[in-house]
Structure 1
Amino acid sequence: MMADPGDRPSDASGGLVRHIPVLLSAVLEALAPVPGQIVLDGTFGAGGYTQALLDAGAQVIALDRDPHALESGDAMVERSGGRLSLHAARFSELDRFAPDAGLDGVVLDIGVSSMQLDTPERGFSFRADGPLDMRMANAGVSAADVVNQLAVGDLARIFNFLGEEKQAGRIAGAIVRRREAEGAFETTRDLARLVETVSPRKAKDRIHPATRVFQALRVYVNDELGELARALYAAERALKPGGRLVVVTFHSLEDRIVKRFFQNRFGGVEGSRHLPQPVERPSIFTRHGKAMVTASAAEAEANPRARSAKLRVGVRTDEPAGEPDMSIFGLPKLVPLNSINV
């Protein structure tokens, strides 16, 4: 499941969360930063990982596509003494910022940030009413554009594949009927109320009925799965031999992408009954430590967002970067964002 269960605040349901870097000790252990190294933080957010890397003496290149995160990071840049540069960019293009000699590490914390959730006007939350937006970069197609334009089948596919919503078809149909009868959806609570009428909340339910729909819209509007897949290949190109790629995910779809990437890049013999000869894939990465690290009981109790977090690590070998192969991820074929009118 993608949604974080329970009424406690979560990145899926849109509750208010105080920013605490997730799996920070494990991230630092995996990256092992030391003075003189250059590490790229592809998801700057509130700067939790970046600050810890600076404290360890590393030089940090940080990226974020959210202009609000960039503004809040200005003070950290000033305090860094020249060891931090902060750029407006998607992490899928992180290799553009790598030095010629390559990076010593890349860290990616995938998903929505607590600052985005805490700002009703960003439209990520249905607990506090706001415009139906959800755009991390404050540009492009919004969630309102999606629910007010797409056909029933297209909406159902988004809710089904990206939100794992069992009532996807019924909810999509209700959205189209409502907008045709009463006009466009404009606010988060407007959409959340509609979803709740289609799939009423029962006493035993641990999450709001709109949780998965909102999550699916956010993932779709920001092309989060495609961005993650492209970022993994960008990190492969940007890391020097021995450099480490550390990825923290929070949902099954994200973790599956990271897992499949590493399985493919760890190399080995690949064969099937359909192939006459086994295929030897080179080891572009090697595994570091456990295949997957999760939060301790103490961290999960102190930081609810950490309960669903998974960390995976790969160490770059001296093999040349391979050709990107998006087919290994099994990403769903959905309506292209650029076909929606803004």
Structure 2
Amino acid sequence: MYHNPVMLKECIDGLAIDPAGTYVDLTFGGGGHSRAILSRLSTGRLIAFDQDADAVSNAPDDPRFTLINQNFRYLVNFLRLYKAVPVDGILADLGISSYQIDQAERGFSTRFDAELDLRMDRKSGLTARQVINQYTTDELIRIFRHYGELPNAYRIAMRIADARGAGEIVTTTQLKDVLQPLAERGRENKFFARVFQALRIEVNAELDVLKEMLIQTTKVLKPGGRLVVLTYHSLEDRPVKNFMKTGNFEGIENKDFFGNLIAPFRPVNRKPIVAGEEELAANNRARSAKLRVAERSNDE
């Protein structure tokens, strides 16, 4: 079962859909957002991306719809291939789906014992098992500090290094057993969620891929077109926020002679949109979600 899309109405409203327009769903998953977009289209078309082969089985049989089984870092290439440039709107829901979490063998969930994998695309090379067993302690410190935002990253890395000296760490349960003494009592779930988040970001190069995609949106969105992005943690939200506001990931403002901001996008909402109380009560995944919407400028 794929998850119910977070803030579905807000996402669709953010796209400001033209029934004859061309739209892109960068994270097809279970197809919830895509079906909602298709319901608003008449003669328009929708191109969707998903690197997970399991998502293909959810593709709707609709002549207006094309699913590309690839990472969205190849956005420009495939939109050109399918003669879909320029587009009227792009949507990206950066959350991991409930379906992927519930597939025990994928290693996404701390609830199941499975081999350390964490690949979104199971054809790609690097796995979490390789990261845990082959990375130096300095590299492990880096990913747990920066991608897990874990203050005890050094101690985590040292425990892993010590443990693998006695043999390879192969499964999610083995890794949890190694790190259990470092988990604060009563907050174990949060601790392990951050450990696995750090590994998942490293394995899938998620932040690099996100930045590559954002830069490419400027090449394919028509002036006035909308970029709608749902993020679930600050590591994703920060580059999205900065890029939408300034056109770069550092948030550095470039202004013209008259003091006007020069940027490829104009944020539609000053603050991120968050889920309402009703949705929060029904869908725990919405708790950390932030939705940002920006409009392609005319001046770049």
Cα deviation, 1:90-121, whole Å, max 9, x if unaligned, reads 11221223346400000001132211101001
Q: TM-score, normalised by structure 2?
A: 0.91
Which stretches in structure 2 are left out of the alignment for 5+ residues?
Answer: none
SS of equivalent to 1:39:
strand
The answer to whether the aligner puts 1:34 opposite 2:14 as a matched pair is no
**From 158, 174, 185, the counterpart of 1:202:** 185
CA distance in 1, matches of 2:279, 2:75: 30
2:266–2:295: 8 Å Cα contact kept in structure 1?
Answer: yes
**From 287, 291, 294, the counterpart of 1:311:** 291
Which residue is 2:280 aligned to? Answer: 300
Cα deviation, 1:185-242, whole Å, max 9, x if unaligned, reads 1111111111113x14414x26343221111000110011111111111111110111
Which stretches in structure 1 are left out of the alignment for 5+ residues?
Answer: 1-16, 272-276, 321-342
The answer to whether the aligner puts 1:125 opposite 2:109 as a matched pair is yes
SS of equivalent to 2:24:
strand
CA distance in 2, matches of 1:299, 1:206: 26
Which residue is 1:239 aligned to? Answer: 221
**From 50, 53, 65, the counterpart of 1:64:** 50
CA distance in 2, matches of 1:29, 1:269: 28
2:2–2:97: 8 Å Cα contact kept in structure 1?
Answer: no
The answer to whether the aligner puts 1:289 opposite 2:272 as a matched pair is no
1:134–1:221: 8 Å Cα contact kept in structure 2?
Answer: yes
The answer to whether the aligner puts 1:90 opposite 2:71 as a matched pair is yes
Cα deviation, 1:264-306, whole Å, max 9, x if unaligned, reads 13999648xxxxx998652321121343100001111111101
Cα deviation, 1:125-178, whole Å, max 9, x if unaligned, reads 121111100000012100000000011111011101000112111111111111
Q: TM-score, normalised by structure 1?
A: 0.80
2:245–2:265: 8 Å Cα contact kept in structure 1?
Answer: no
Identical amino acids, percent of aligned pairs? 40
Which residue is 1:192 aligned to? Answer: 176
CA distance in 2, matches of 1:129, 1:269: 47
The answer to whether the aligner puts 1:175 opposite 2:160 as a matched pair is yes
Query: What number of residue pairs does the alignment pair up?
Result: 291
Relative contact order higher in (CA < 8 Å, ≥ 6 apart): 1
The answer to whether the aligner puts 1:161 opposite 2:146 as a matched pair is yes
SS of equivalent to 1:166:
coil
Deviation at 1:318, TM superposition (A): 2.4
**Structure 1 residues 143 and 101, CA, compared in 2 at 3 Å: closer, same or farther?**
closer
Which residue is 1:144 aligned to? Answer: 129
CA distance in 2, matches of 1:109, 1:102: 21
CA distance in 2, matches of 1:268, 1:210: 34
**From 234, 239, 243, the counterpart of 1:261:** 243
Q: Give the superposed CA RMSD.
A: 2.2
**Structure 1 residues 201 and 291, CA, compared in 2 at 3 Å: closer, same or farther?**
closer
SS of equivalent to 1:186:
coil
CA distance in 1, matches of 2:11, 2:87: 16
2:254–2:263: 8 Å Cα contact kept in structure 1?
Answer: no
2:247–2:263: 8 Å Cα contact kept in structure 1?
Answer: yes
Which residue is 1:333 aligned to? Answer: none
1:268–1:283: 8 Å Cα contact kept in structure 2?
Answer: no
1:269–1:279: 8 Å Cα contact kept in structure 2?
Answer: no
CA distance in 1, matches of 2:245, 2:266: 10
CA distance in 2, matches of 1:147, 1:283: 40
2:245–2:266: 8 Å Cα contact kept in structure 1?
Answer: no
* Corresponding letter in the other structure for 2:280: A
CA distance in 1, matches of 2:84, 2:51: 23
